[in-house]
Amino acid sequence: TCIVKLNEDGSVSVLTGATDIGQGSSTVVAQVVAEVLGLSLNDVTINAGVDTDFTPVDPGTYGSRVTFYSGNAAKMAAEDAKKQIVELASKIFKVSPEEIVLHDRRVFPKANPEKAWRMDALIRHSEHKMGKESKSIIGKASYDSGVDFIDFKTGKGNISPAYTFAADVVELEVDPETGRITVLNAVGAHDIGKALNPVLCAGQLDGAWIQAMGQVFFEELHRDKKDGHVLNPSFLDYKMPTSMDIPLNNTHIFVESIDPNGPFGAKEVGEGASVAIFPAIGNAVYDAIGVRITDLPVTAEKVLKAVKKKKEQEG
């Protein structure tokens, strides 16, 4: 659910329950609203998930679905507000609603842009100059994909109405003396629907790859076989990659398939990108040493043992 309120200065306040946890969802929601209303990104203020007393309901930030679900709700709410603006402007300009254009913080009839009203002037007119018909412009909308949401008890259902696809190629080298693996280059083609914000998309894809490589090369949980206690419960012993551990020259290719149900054709970009990098690295290691490592993480110790075992079998 999303609420879009037009303010007297022509700016917009957006209320959404979607919480930005670093992926840039607040930026994307603001972009969607600005695009619909013909405003700039600076005109939009996001109130996102800060207090459930006044932000509307949102199912949560997970499953690579915020842009799809909350973006759609924001687009529909902005369109609701736009419809009210258009109805007001059509009365002022005495033209049909189809002739009204919202662009660059202005509202005008398509055939006579020189007659434009500033958005702030139009909002003040709506709130103060129309007598009994005066009103604030507030758009509201809820989006439901229509899919049967997952039942966590049975594991059946669907988490999203749209899925991304990826194809990754990895070039790496393996030191036969130490077993150390160095990723030299990686190229990925990602079907993301439409890149609403290419910079954020690239950041999400970088993060997905780095996170995946942490699982491929470093992260491993050790438990006591008798009582199940975790034996490496701190980041001192549970290794994660730093910027020095991922010497990755990566290239991302956006495949913009334009999803018919996403906001302006967008789908998720992030978690889905990590899926193909696992087998790509595994296949590259196999190509380098001729042995498959079938469990994660792929450590130098496992590589050396696999190479040694192969030599013994061949010898």
Could you list the active site residues?
271
CB 263 within 8 A of CB 74: yes
Helix, coil or strand: residue 223: strand
Q: Determine the Cα–Cα distance for residues 315 and 313; give it in Å rounded to an integer.
A: 6
Residue 48 β-bridge partners: 16
CB 141 within 8 A of CB 33: no
**Residue type (1 letter), 30:** A
Q: Are strands 12-16 and 44-48 parallel, antiparallel or unpaired?
A: parallel
Residue 170: closest CA among 212, 200, 136:
212
CB 218 within 8 A of CB 240: yes
DSSP characters for 157-185?
SBS-S---EEEEEEEEEE-TTT--EEEEE
Q: Determine the Cα–Cα distance for residues 185 and 307; give it in Å rounded to an integer.
A: 23
**Residue type (1 letter), 108:** F
Residue linked to tokens 């997970």: 62
Q: Determine the Cα–Cα distance for residues 69 and 66; give it in Å rounded to an integer.
A: 5
Residue linked to tokens 């039942």: 151
CB 127 within 8 A of CB 136: yes
Q: Determine the Cα–Cα distance for residues 270 and 223; give it in Å rounded to an integer.
A: 30
CB 169 within 8 A of CB 280: yes
196-207 as b/e, with b when 16 or more CB fall inside 10 Å?
bbeebbebbbeb
